[in-house]
Amino acid sequence: MYYEPHASRDNLVVLTSVHVTRILLSKVVSGEVTAESICFLHDGNEYRAFVKNEVIVSAGYTSLIYLVIWPRR
């Protein structure tokens, strides 16, 4: 499991009950499309997290979507 050995890291934040509203994309010089930021709702407030390196999007069989934004600095 990934979480247990890394739970105390300063650059790891885990939020539950989050609803992702948008993944904002941009095209870089090479023509490649990359994620620029993620917009999400948490506890009735809207947030925008900016991406430094990569975003991993994973959907499970129950239609849950997990996002990993790495690293947080």
Domain residue spans of the chain: 3-70
pLDDT in the model for residue 45: 95
The pLDDT value recorded for residue 46 is 96
pLDDT at residue 17, rounded to an integer = 81
Angle (nearest 5°) at CA 71 between 24 and 51:
15
Query: Given this model, what pLDDT does residue 64 score?
Result: 55
Residues of the chain with pLDDT under 70: 1, 56-73
Contact 48, 69 (CB under 8 A): no
Residues 34-52 have pLDDT tens digits of: 889 989 899 999 999 998 8
Residue type for 14, please?
V
